[in-house]
Amino acid sequence: MSEDSRSPIRRDAAAIAAYAGAFGASFGAVSVASGLTIAQTMVLSLVMFSGASQFALVGVIGGGGAGLAAVPTALLLGVRNMFYGVPIAGILGRRGRSGPRRLVAAQLVIDETTAMAVGRDVPAEQRYAFWATGVMGFLLWNCGTLAGALGGSAIGDPATLGLDAMAPASFLALVWPRLRSAEARWVGAGGALVATALIPLVPAGVPVLAAAPIAVVTGLFPRRGATAEGGQR
């Protein structure tokens, strides 16, 4: 893989890592304000390393919930990373998912790394995008968390800077190239619709999981002439 194809991937990964750093800082501040210690806050960012689950956990604890009541919500929000593991394992290939590498790679399987990896067409670029986004994102998320936990209320509200618009915009941008096939467009629209319809009906985390069966059914029973490879070279 040439430097020409690496440098734009690194640039995009750095942009994701930058907003991960800013979000990490707000997580650190929120976590300490919710009654967790700095050490507990850092364990979450280092070991859980999954923004939605972390915010949910400290949210329940901060809202006065008994500690253990927060666990199922955090886990439910983490289940989607398990589904992401399937395409990522395929992208990393046999070498990338053997031995200790698999243990490290697994920790980096989150929304951002999955979106960056599947947003590329060439396998070598997909692997590079996964690792670049994962390593930079992990470092900045944790540095940000520590800064936020120490700085506390000095950290401004990320909403003021519009940072909360960056996550959905980035997922959309990264899924965009995949939407070249009609089949993928239907799957994406179906996932969004099902999730939206379920928001008032089921606990947090479930709406996104409910989109998975759409991909499974469509993948197992493809219509003739329509394949998910439509966007591939």
Partner 1 sequence: MIWVAVVVASVGCYLLKLAGMSLPASVLERPDVRRVALLLPVAMLSALVAVELFDGGGVLGVDPWLLAGVGAAVVALLLRQSFIVVIVVAAATTAVLRALT
Write out the binding residues for partner 1, residues 114-133 only, by CB under 8 A. 114-115, 118
Using CB under 8 A as the binding rule, the residues of this chain from 163 to 202 that contact partner 1 are 163-176, 178-179, 183-184, 187-196, 199-200
Closest contact distance (angstroms) between CB of 72 and partner 1 is 9
Using CB under 8 A as the binding rule, the residues of this chain from 131 to 170 that contact partner 1 are 159-170
Binding segment for partner 1 (CB under 8 A), chosen from 107-115, 120-128, 133-141, 146-154, is 107-115
Closest contact distance (angstroms) between CB of 1 and partner 1 is 18
Which residues have C-beta within 8 Å of that of residue 182, sequence separation ≥ 6?
Answer: 226, 230
How far, in Å, CA of 114 to CA of 212, rounded? 15
Tokens coding 2: 């040439």
Closest contact distance (angstroms) between CB of 98 and partner 1 is 10
How far, in Å, CA of 113 to CA of 19, rounded? 14
Of 205, 6, 4, nearest to 111 by C-alpha is 205
CA 19 to chain centre: 13
Of the pair 152, 171, the CB lying nearest partner 1 is at 171
Which residues have C-beta within 8 Å of that of residue 71, sequence separation ≥ 6?
Answer: 57
Question: Do residues 87 and 118 touch, judged by C-beta distance below 8 A?
Answer: yes
Tokens coding 154: 């000095």
Q: Could you tell me the CA-to-CA distances from 42 to 30, 51, 78, 198 in Å, in that order?
A: 12, 13, 18, 33
Q: Which of 6, 10, 84, 143 binds partner 1 (CB under 8 A)?
A: 84
Binding segment for partner 1 (CB under 8 A), chosen from 76-84, 120-128, 136-144, 146-154, is 76-84
Instruction: For residue 229, state whether it binds partner 1 (rule: CB under 8 A).
Output: yes
Of the pair 139, 195, the CB lying nearest partner 1 is at 195
Q: Which of 86, 122, 124, 154 binds partner 1 (CB under 8 A)?
A: 86
Terminal alpha carbon distance of the chain: 16
Using CB under 8 A as the binding rule, the residues of this chain from 29 to 58 that contact partner 1 are 35-36, 40, 43-44, 47-50, 53, 57
